[in-house]
Amino acid sequence: MPEGPRTTRYRLLRGPWGIWIELTASATATPGPPARGEQVTDGVWLDAGPVLTHPPTDREGKRLTPAEATWLHHGLTLATPALTAASPGPHTLITIHRVQLPETDYQPEGLAAALLQWTEQEFDLPPHAVPVTFDRPANRYVYEWAAPA
């Protein structure tokens, strides 16, 4: 787990348009539950606060809505089985610092895939299969996972 934030670029192009999301996050190991963030699973916490404030904390990137943040939570949920085994401490806090994306080529479900990809890179986890197809009549991508709670 490197020091400081890491940026991942999630790209998907399987139809006439694609999804591009740049996500910057950091991971912090703590001996006890962190003071901020929401618990995703036992020992894994998500702090999306920096991208939920207006303007975003870094005054760059996109401010996410609470509904969009549920997709970040979902992506971290998908990563937790492998993350829990690889985690350096009893509690791991993932903080989302920045999200950048084009407003035109965007689906909030891509946030889950972007955070899943970030987690794989940050903790050197094996890739998690993300089945996705393009629905031409609906002109949108369909991710083959359950919707977030």
- How confident is the model over 32-83, as pLDDT tens digits? 999 999 999 989 999 999 988 866 666 677 889 999 999 999 999 999 988 8
Residue 61: predicted pLDDT: 78
Mean pLDDT, residues 19-36 taken together: 94
pTM, to two decimals: 0.91
- Provide the strand spans (E) within 14-110: 18-30, 38-41, 44-47, 91-100
CATH code for 6-143?
3.30.230
Query: Could you tell me whether strands 91-100 and 44-47 are parallel, antiparallel, or unpaired per DSSP bridges?
Result: parallel
Element (H, E) at 82: helix 66-86
Q: Cα–Cα distance between 84 and 107 in angstroms, integer? A: 28
Domain ranges of the chain: 6-143
